Amino acid sequence: MTTQAPADICAGGTPRDAGAPEYLLRLFVTGQTPRSTLALENIRKICEQHLSGRYRLEVVDIYQEPQMASEAQIIAAPTVVKILPEPLRRIIGDLSDVNKVLRALDLKPQAAGCS
């Protein structure tokens, strides 16, 4: 429900005007499909838990901005692209497997999951 506007959404925790954040993530969703909504919830949760204050999350709805899908080489949906830090990574799916997401973000998986 949060991705009404196609415009980028800054998730909480972004340091205001404090230069570039350490992590730049862009989530590509397809409207408000359950999978997209779930992915957005999941990535928000993960970011808050592991990257609080160090990240910036942008959300792009490729139904609204289809040319973005081509520009960002999106095949699957939903997809989170880790733009910073390099190297670039794409995490596809509803992000329900947290450990895989963490691995792709170069973060240490937590043994006990996240809740």
Closest C-alpha among 95, 97, 18, 6 to residue 58 = 6
Answer yes or no whether residue 77 interacts with other proteins by CB under 8 A.
yes
Give Cβ neighbours of residue 58 (< 8 Å, ≥ 6 apart): 8, 9, 10, 24, 25, 26, 27
- Choice from 12, 15, 85, 97 touching other proteins (CB under 8 A): 97
# binding residues, other proteins (CB under 8 A): 35
Q: How far is the CB of 103 from other proteins (least distance, A)?
A: 7
Q: Is 26 left (phi over 0), alpha (psi -120 to 50) or beta?
A: beta
Which part of the chain contacts other proteins (CB under 8 A), choosing from 2-10, 15-23, 50-58, 67-75? 67-75
Q: Which amino acid is at 49?
A: Q
Answer yes or no whether residue 113 interacts with other proteins by CB under 8 A.
no
3-class DSSP state of 66 = helix
Enumerate binding residues for other proteins (CB under 8 A): 28, 30, 35, 38-39, 42, 62-63, 66-67, 69-70, 73-79, 87-98, 100-101, 103-104
